[in-house]
Homo-oligomer: A and B are copies of this chain.
Amino acid sequence: MGRRTCHYGGVASTSASAGVLLRHVRTGRARSRADLVALTGASRNTISARVDQLIAANLLEEGGRGWSTGGRPPTLLQFNSRAGCVLAVDLGVTSVDVAVTDLSAQILGTVGHPIDIADGPGAVLAEVDRLAQQVLADVGLTPGDVCAIGIGVPGPVEFPTGRPSHPPIMPGWHDYPVPSAFGRYECPVYVDNDVNVMALGEIGVAGSSQDVLVVKVGTGIGCGVIVDGRVYRGAQGSAGDIGHIHVAQPDGRTVVCRCGQENCLEAIAGGGALLRDAIAAGLPVGTVREVVRLAAEGNGVALELVRGAGRTIGTVLASLVNFFNPHRIVMTGGVAQAGVPLLAGIREAVYRRSMPLAARALEITVSEAPDLSGRVGAALMAIEEFLDEESVQALAR
């Protein structure tokens, strides 16, 4: 999601734009026109007119009456999440997942396929398109029903244009105009870094104006930074790149990272490192997923490996907690599926080394569906951006 600036001037500056109203209803902050009046401070008049517009546009529905608080009960408003659908693409290094969701990011159908990101944008995006057609057909929809497309890719992206920007692990993708590959859907295409996308998925429909870190532990380690409910990107768009932060090994060991540096966080505690250490410990595993499963089954060695990774990640997060003082940290990605042992290691390190003021109220959790957050986040990104543009159009009418 792009940094949303305050629109001064122009059509979008209205005190209660259609997009804002929609967001209030979608997030459940508002259930009636009266709620919207209270939330936005706009006049009943304005709200009424806008809500009528949104109902006419089929984006809102009236849904019966609510509880009375002494007088006439409110007419409940509902977001019509079936007003359209979006394509959500979670592009990984070795696989891609494509989902069709409704406008509430509820997954209607999904399909995955192994790929090699290094095959380049042409081949990979053709495969994505094939999967999209397949999953659309599965749920009985056509390309014409797609309102927007959201794509998360494993590398930095110049968000406004949807072009990857010097991605280290996506050879051949630099500056490729990803949206152009979906021209035939005739709808907006939003592309962002997969971690940013996941972060959106974890904070839910944007709006919780909080400061959150979403840490993805997969093969590598990355972090989505949410400042006041919005994705923070930094100067070059590389904020949250915590995988190559230097970590001191207590035993003085040295591990060389794929980036060439020594003792990077992800070289010690990432999924690749976990697999390597599990094999070295004699566990019968061939993938990270298997290590995580062993830990989930209670295998002592696997448990200790995961917990150790958590501790290492926790030492880095402890520093970031002091610096960033987030409300919440959410763990996601493949390794996060291990759940409890990872969390235990992280909490151990964070609570030991962060300042009490910042750590006391800090919530550290694991994503409820680490394997889905990429798709859900991509869908949410597409929905949020789409509805904002839509709202401007609604106003223009």
Residues on A lying within 8 angstroms of B by beta carbon are: 3, 6, 8-10, 13, 15-16, 20, 40-42, 156, 166, 210-211, 223, 225, 227-228, 232-242, 244-246, 248, 259, 261, 315-316, 318-320, 322-327, 353, 355, 357-358, 360-362
Our pick among B233, B237, B319, B324 for the contact of A316 (Cβ within 8 Å) is B319
Residues of B within 8 A of A238 (CB): 322, 325, 355, 357-358
Our pick among B234, B319, B355, B358 for the contact of A326 (Cβ within 8 Å) is B234
Our pick among B15, B227, B319, B326 for the contact of A246 (Cβ within 8 Å) is B319
Q: Other than the known A211-B232, A245-B318, what 17 A-B pairs have Cβ atoms closer than 8 Å?
A: A3-B228, A6-B6, A8-B20, A8-B42, A10-B41, A13-B13, A225-B324, A234-B358, A236-B325, A236-B357, A237-B325, A239-B323, A241-B322, A241-B357, A242-B319, A242-B323, A245-B319
Residues of B within 8 A of A318 (CB): 245-246
Pairwise interchain contact A248-B245, C-beta atoms closer than 8 A? no
- Nearest chain B CB to A253 CB, angstrom units: 13
Residues of B within 8 A of A239 (CB): 211, 323-325
Our pick among B9, B10, B16, B235 for the contact of A211 (Cβ within 8 Å) is B235
Find the B residue at minimum CB distance from A233. Answer: B325
Question: Which 7 residue pairs across A and B have the least CB separation, nearest first?
Answer: A234-B325, A248-B248, A9-B15, A6-B6, A9-B41, A239-B325, A235-B327
Residues of B within 8 A of A211 (CB): 232, 234-235, 239
- Nearest chain B CB to A234 CB, angstrom units: 3
Complex formed: what's the CA distance from A331 to B6 in Å? 30
Pairwise interchain contact A16-B20, C-beta atoms closer than 8 A? no
Residues of B within 8 A of A248 (CB): 248
Pairwise interchain contact B8-A315, C-beta atoms closer than 8 A? no
Our pick among B234, B241, B323 for the contact of A241 (Cβ within 8 Å) is B323
